[in-house]
Amino acid sequence: MFGGLDLLATTTHAMTPPATETPGATDTSHGRRHWMSVLARAPRDTLEAAVASVEPPPNWTRLRGPEAGTVMVRGRIGGTGAAFNLGEVTVVRCSVRLVCGTVGHAYVAGRDLRRAELAAVCDALLQTAHAAELSTRLIAREAKRQAEERAEARRRAAATRVEFFTLTRMG
Amino acid sequence: MLEAGFADPVHEAQATFRALLEATARPGTILALPKPQAPLPLPPAAGAIALTLCDSDTPVWLAPPLASEAVRSWLRFHAGSPLVDNPGKAAFAFAVGMDVPFGDLAAGTDEAPERSATLVLGVDGFGRGAALHLSGPGVAKETTLQVAGLAPGFIAWRARNHALYPRGVDVILVAGREAAALPRTTSIREG
């Protein structure tokens, strides 16, 4: 079912960034890293609306995928807080090329193929003349929503916190 | 501009692998491979072989006529293979034209003959040109493969290569979508 996706199995190969020589594609600046992370968390409807609002409507070719596979995720789960393999996460990856030749990539958690494809299209569009319009309308707005969502989750988790302070002193 | 690979990566890579098994098991057999969107000047069959057999563990060497930026980035993106400048370091060497450094390719060692290179050599076509009479494992008595546009020095190098057994370079000839294998065990007589 996951055939053809070669980032399976070994941690060393997991999430190897796509090696391309396309202008912009090797750009690991803060800007692109930021928008790719926002796009990877954006809901499908938001991406769908963002792509639909671009004038003229973008045309793209699929270079790879969208295809589902798994990647090993590491986390600070060791007894000493060291990183260790946490578990495998289902991921969809997709790479597309716009008519102008700009290449966009996306790695999105889950199994929603369309969502990964739209995220890749947005990544490509953000490297073109549509960058300014998309970063305000899509990226800034979505980043704010994601930050609020995270803050809300943290707030609810914090409300359940148990203080072991007293207990420790008694012992 | 970066091109796509196989339209159906899983099944076309499997079909290519099956065809290469068949071609290697029966030297002299000409088989058509699935056609990926390989960028020129890489022959489509060479592109199919690269997408099927090459990955991040197989260093690839491209002969200068093939080493265009389009081909290099296509191979890096779809196969993820490291591209090397020294043909002796390559697990897979892709070459076309008349100037091929046959002698530089890795022939493996007696302890590890599998560490040899596979040469994917572009020719002008099959069914015309020089007649190669093949014999050895996989060939009943003798079979004839006609190849046009074979690089000069190939036959002489291939004879030396055959004598190295169990070491030696395996060769896959490609023209357009077609491929024919000349594994190291096959002995070739020209005429």
What is the C-alpha separation between A54 and B177, in angstroms, rounded? 40
Q: Model confidence over B136-146: pLDDT tens digits?
A: 999 999 999 99
Helix (H) / strand (E) containing B126: strand B125-135
Q: Model confidence over A114-145: pLDDT tens digits?
A: 999 999 999 999 999 999 989 989 999 999 99
A95 contacts on B by Cβ (under 8 Å):
77
> Sign (positive/negative) of CA torsion B175, B180, B185, B191?
negative
Say whether A22 and B2 touch across the interface (CB within 8 A): yes
Site from A64, A103, A117 to mutate, B interface, most B CB atoms within 10 angstroms: A64
ipTM value greater than 0.85: no
What is the C-alpha separation between B173 and A120, in angstroms, rounded? 37
pLDDT at A95: 96
Among the partner-chain residues A3, A19, A64, the one whose CB lies closest to the CB of B76 is A19
Task: Please report which confidence band the pLDDT of residue A167 belongs to, taking 50, 70 and 90 as the band edges.
Answer: low
B73 contacts on A by Cβ (under 8 Å):
20-22
Please check the confidence at residue A50 and state whether its pLDDT lies above 80.
yes
What percent of chain B shows pLDDT beyond 90?
91
pLDDT at A168: 57
Say whether A18 and B9 touch across the interface (CB within 8 A): no
What is the C-alpha separation between B49 and B53, in angstroms, rounded? 6
Please check the confidence at residue A10 and state whether its pLDDT lies above 70.
no
pLDDT at A81: 86
DSSP result, A68-106: EEEEEEEEE-STTS-EEEEEEEEEEEEEEEETTS-EEEE
Please check the confidence at residue A15 and state whether its pLDDT lies above 80.
no
pLDDT at B97: 83
What is the C-alpha separation between A89 and A91, in angstroms, rounded? 6
B77 contacts on A by Cβ (under 8 Å):
18-20, 63-64, 95
What percent of chain B shows pLDDT beyond 70?
100
Say whether B55 and A63 touch across the interface (CB within 8 A): no
